[in-house]
Amino acid sequence: MKVYSAYTIEQFGRYILGDVQAFNWLVENEYRELLATLDAIRDDKNAFKFLIENKYFELAAFVNAIWDDEKAFRFLIDRKAFDWAATANFINGDDKAKEALNRAGTAHFVAVGHAILGRIQEDGDRNVSPMGTLKNMLNFRQAFRNLKNNN
């Protein structure tokens, strides 16, 4: 399991919030797996595949744990990736997880959790906006056509 410094996690949180300098720092310092983690959270299948193929199993499990996958959460615990597990629980509404992270001196993971929650909210708002709804309808129609053409 790769261990990240507090500074690296802080840069990850800033990147999630849209900070271009944090993005550049992550790229320059070869933390592409953290960039892929956000993309995977946002349902980018290729990003998730990147995490698996490059053996970033804890980050892949973190992505799934955010979406209430109990096996992924258990995997994080078994691998002693407690900060990632607690962050996933915090994102899922567990205030005790937030308190545990703060007590452990890992508030940078709390900041990442807040950033991810904000991004998930932003993505959700975009999907229910008039343009987002139209885009989703067009994507559904295209997927239905592809399914119909393959049968």
Q: In the chain, what are the domain boundaries?
A: 6-150
Residues 6+ apart with CB under 8 A from 41: 63, 66, 116, 119, 120
Residue 4 φ/ψ, nearest 5 degrees: -110, 140
Distance CA 117, CA 107 (A): 15
Q: How would residue 130 be classed by pLDDT, with cut points 50, 70 and 90?
A: very low
With 0-12 CB in 10 A as exposed, 13-18 as middle and 19+ as buried, what is 82?
Answer: middle
Quick check: pTM over 0.75?
yes
Least confident window among 28-37, 73-82, 124-133: 124-133
Between 129 and 75, the more confident residue is 75
Share of residues in the chain with pLDDT > 90 (%): 75
**Would you say 142 and 43 are in contact if contact means Cβ atoms under 8 Å apart?**
no
Q: How would residue 126 be classed by pLDDT, with cut points 50, 70 and 90?
A: low
For position 140, what pLDDT does the model report? Answer: 45
**Would you say 73 and 85 are in contact if contact means Cβ atoms under 8 Å apart?**
yes
* Residue 105 region by backbone torsions, left for phi larger than 0, else alpha for psi between -120 and 50, else beta: left
Distance CA 100, CA 87 (A): 10
Share of residues in the chain with pLDDT > 70 (%): 82
> Can you give the length of the chain in residues?
151
Checking if the pLDDT of 127 tops 90, the result is: no
Task: State the chain's mean pLDDT as an integer.
Answer: 87
Mean pLDDT for 49-68 is 96
Both tokens of residue 24?
A: 């550049």
